Amino acid sequence: MGKGAVVGTAVVACAAAAAAVGVAVVVSRRRRRRKEAEDERKRKAAAVVEEVEQAFSTPTALLRGIADAMVEEMERGLRADPHAPLKMLISYVDNLPTGDEHGLFYALDLGGTNFRVIRVQLGGREKRVMKQEYEEVSIPPHLMIGTSTELFDFIAAELEKFVRTEGEDFHLPDGKQRELGFTFSFPVHQTSISSGTLIKWTKGFSINGTVGEDVVAELSRAMERQGLDMKVTALVNDTVGTLAGGRYLDNDVVAAVILGTGTNAAYVEHANAIPKWNGLLPKSGNMVINMEWGNFRSNKLPSSEYDKALDFESLNPGEQIYEKMISGMYLGEIVRRILLKLAHDASLFGDVVPPKLEQLFVLRTPDMSAMHHDTSHDLKHLGAKLKDILGVPDTSLEARYITLHVCDLVAERGARLAAAGIYGILKKLGKDKLPNDFSQQRTVIAMDGGLYEHYRKFSTCLEATLADLLGEEAASSVVVKLANDGSGIGAALLAASHSEYAEAAWF
């Protein structure tokens, strides 16, 4: 090989080496930039998560302050303060079931797009509920926006058909009229145990001619048109019905709480502690109060940017503030809003924000619960849920763990705030401490609603928080008890305890 060839080869080799070095430098720079970008993304994600942790923090001292605020608002409502967020509605239920009730009673439970008709045969303290039957009926959509007459005629017709199926196991004594408890879960201004005027329709109903009218009178006229000989003896809210059903099974029940799609509470108040009560005090000395506690609000409630945005964009801004923090309608939506911020600020689900994540209420609380209860090491079930709901084909393990943590933060805050509300009721009743004689009298809270019943981590956290607020000694006497589907049977029991044929058995 000549000298020139050798030199040429060396030059080519040097050029190739230089090119290789250049490529390596480029690759190294790209890797460094990718690592820097990934580190920056992780830093942003951590910053959002830290901000949420701080905003959703509910230290015990804060919960005690919220409970005190709840007591203060309860007292304002009982004084009929027009500016009180808690209306503390008088239910006119002054004698709850005792277990001595006898006879055949019906209930109608209307609270949404379905209603239930129920009948029970009661056999007194020894036999209790001897037999019960029910039927669920869907309301045709056109009746939800039709006229009052059309709606109540449909309901009365279905009730009349149900009565016609009454078998030999159910017995109505001669000369007695069938009696009905009517659970009506819409805002009502109650004027007696068996009358109340509709304030407004909710839950998708928009019916002319009923607002301001007595809903019991509307139902009674419809039953007459169907030739149905039945009298409404009790008009009740579903929470009051749950309280009645709980008391029937356990005489130590003092309050009922519903934690489902929405939330509410009712409790037994001393009649002389109700300044707005006009007229004779009830013989029992007690009165059930429907708190409508979903509308509780206080500057002590830890309202985050996500809560404020949710409220602002809701159909009822400024209302139901407490409900929007603790109920099943909203928990999944709060999680969605936090994940959306993580997607925008920290590319949690990749470079493109999943379009479905922009949709209001696309993430429901049952989905949140299913993700939260995933115990697999790689959270594969949570990942499958995110794929089904958000359309993200593949999520990183980091994204799945962050999602799990967000669910934990939102559920824990909701459960702890709900526990603070229950603690407030116990404080109002003076049952937050053991009696001076240290007697172990039980205090029972009847709980109903799918959120409490099915979201195990939520209910476990609620009970643990309530025990912490009460302290070891007082907590030993307080029992939280599931009263599954108590509102329907509770209405029938209230029809029995307020029957015109029975002597009142007071509290």
Catalytic positions are 203, 238
Q: Output the 3-class SS for 210-273.
A: CECCEHHHHHHHHHHHCCCCEEEEEEECHHHHHHHHHHHHCCCEEEEEEECCCEEEEEEEEHHH
Cβ contact 187:199 at 8 Å? yes
Q: DSSP letters along 263-305, please?
A: EEEEEEEEGGG-TT--SSPPTTSEEEEE--GGG---TTS---H
- From 429, 450, 297, 433, select the one nearest 366 (Cα to Cα): 450
Bridge partner residues of 190 (DSSP): 196
Q: 361 is written with which tokens?
A: 């209420």
| CB neighbours of residue 33 within 10 Å | 10
Q: 20 is written with which tokens?
A: 């290789």
Phi, psi of 362 (to 5 degrees): -70, -25
Q: DSSP E strands: which ranges in 398-472?
A: 443-448
Cβ contact 132:119 at 8 Å? yes
Bridge partner residues of 132 (DSSP): 120
DSSP state of 130: E
Bridge partner residues of 120 (DSSP): 105, 132
